[in-house]
Homo-oligomer: A and B are copies of this chain.
Amino acid sequence: MTAVLTERTPRVAAARKLLRRASRLEAGRFLVEGVRPVHDALTWAEEGPGRVHDLFLTDAVADRDPTLEDRAIAAGVRVARVTEKAAAGLSDTVTPQGVAVVCSTVTVGLDAALGEHPRLVTVLAGVADPGNAGTVIRTSDAAGADAVVLAGDSRNQPVDPHNGKCVRATMGSLFHLPLAVARDVDAVVAALRERGLTLLAAAGDGETVLDASADPLLAAPTAWLFGSEAHGLDDDTTRLADHRVRVPIHGRAESLNLATAAAVCLYASARAHH
């Protein structure tokens, strides 16, 4: 057995820095922690070389789940045992699980993410909460979306999908479909238009109601635009869409939250497409 690394070991210290957005951007790497998410990352590593660089785990985790080290080694990932304290330092949760991997960032350029003929694309414009973004990435994956684009708006910069909270909320979907980050929503809209997509803006006061009457509209290749939790889509972004669509409210609720509204919209498209 090789030495157990502490939080002061340069490799561990370098990995720890990836908890910060600026360091992730600079390094082009991010951290994935927890047994289940690390397994998701290792599956991703098996599908393409050089995607996952380091596995750090405590003796206790290695004893409990020997497949972690086995899979990592088979996928060409460097493996190191670390102290409990070092493992905790690689976590931004209150209950660190004692295992983390350093991965290359998953995002690709906008054109690469969209491909040539996307049928269903999710655009988050100004969504600020990483947990919400992660949940919508997971739902987009489940609904069969071809890509998710994280864009900024006039108020918020795009959320970083490599944020720990976002990674956890995606439950592995981060590795399943192409993601792009784009500061400028206008460029995103242009790229979607180029591909002939119908642009639907989710808006609580939209003129188009998302019920059976919307089925013909939904049958076309579609990009959904979702705005921030607090303010929805800003006016400039909404104006770029072909239709402003509202999920009907049958009771007395004022609105749905972002993740549930997105689930209803994306599954309405999935229903129309399948």
- A contact residues vs B (CB 8 Å cutoff): 135, 138-145, 171-173, 176-177, 211-212, 247-257, 259-264, 267, 270-271, 274
Contact = CB atoms under 8 A, between A and B. Distances in A.
Q: SS class of chain A's interface: helix, strand, loop or mixed?
A: loop
A48 B273 CA distance: 47
B138 A271 contact: no
B172 A138 contact: no
B135 A260 contact: yes
Given A139-B253, A172-B254, A261-B263, 7 more contacts: A135-B257, A140-B251, A142-B250, A142-B251, A143-B250, A144-B251, A171-B253
* Number of chain copies forming the complex: 2
A171 B254 contact: yes
A48 to B, nearest CB: 15
Contacts of A138: 253, 256-257, 260
Contacts of A254: 171-172
Contacts of A253: 138-139, 141-142, 171-173, 176
Nearest to A138: B253
A250 B144 contact: yes
Contacts of A261: 263
A173 B252 contact: yes
A138 to B, nearest CB: 6
A260 to B, nearest CB: 4
Contact of A263 (B176, B256, B274): B256
A171 B267 CA distance: 24
A211 to B, nearest CB: 6
A143 B255 CA distance: 10
A144 B248 CA distance: 10
A244 to B, nearest CB: 18
Nearest to A143: B250
A250 B177 CA distance: 12
A267 to B, nearest CB: 5
Contacts of A171: 253-255, 257
A265 to B, nearest CB: 10
9 contacts: A135-B260, A138-B253, A140-B251, A172-B253, A173-B251, A177-B251, A259-B260, A260-B263, A264-B264
